[in-house]
Amino acid sequence: MIDTRELILARILVTLGTVQVGVKAHRNLPDVPENLRPCLVLVDGDEEASDQDLARHAAFLRRVTVTPEILILIGATDGVGSALNALRAKVLHALLFDTTLKTLLLDDDIVYLGAHSAFQEGRRIEGSMVLRLSFTYLLRPTDLAP
């Protein structure tokens, strides 16, 4: 069985792990304690098949777009906003230019959809940012056979 969605998500995680020394990457980690920050968390996200393929037989190839989210979590530090932006730039560059990741995609289709940032005040200001990207691949139903 070859699930291209899983291969894409696994490659994103590997790539995130190379973004910056001292910043670990995790996948679908629900609660991130402060002692693990700064870190990156890949959330698998949704996927949607192309409307252009609706009239086709179920066993035919389908264009599918998966939209994972990447959480950038920074602990309390001076210049937390700048730290988030610097890590965001490194993440985007690493993913947009990952040649191994592109081999899994249809027409090298990686699209940056945007980011949302949040700051929390408590005893110290902490920051987080959620990046959204889309990755389009070709689903081959025959590859999913056990």
User: What pLDDT band is residue 54 in, cutting at 50, 70 and 90?
Assistant: low
Domain annotation for the chain: domains and CATH numbers: 4-144 (3.30.70.1700)
Averaged confidence pLDDT in the chain: 87
- Of the chain, the percentage scoring pLDDT greater than 70 comes to 87
Closest to 96 measured CA to CA, from 108, 86, 104, 107? 108
Which whole number is the average pLDDT over 25-34? Answer: 89
Residue 1's pLDDT band (cuts 50, 70, 90): low
Residue 123 has pLDDT above 60, yes or no: no
Q: Within 13 A of 102's CA, how many CA atoms are on the CB side? A: 11
50: left (phi over 0), alpha (psi -120 to 50) or beta: beta
Element (H or E) spanning 68, and its range? strand 62-74
What's the predicted TM-score (pTM) here? 0.88
Predicted pLDDT of residue 105: 96
**In this structure, which amino acid lies at residue 129?**
M
The phi and psi torsions of 91 (rounded to 5 degrees) equal -65, -50
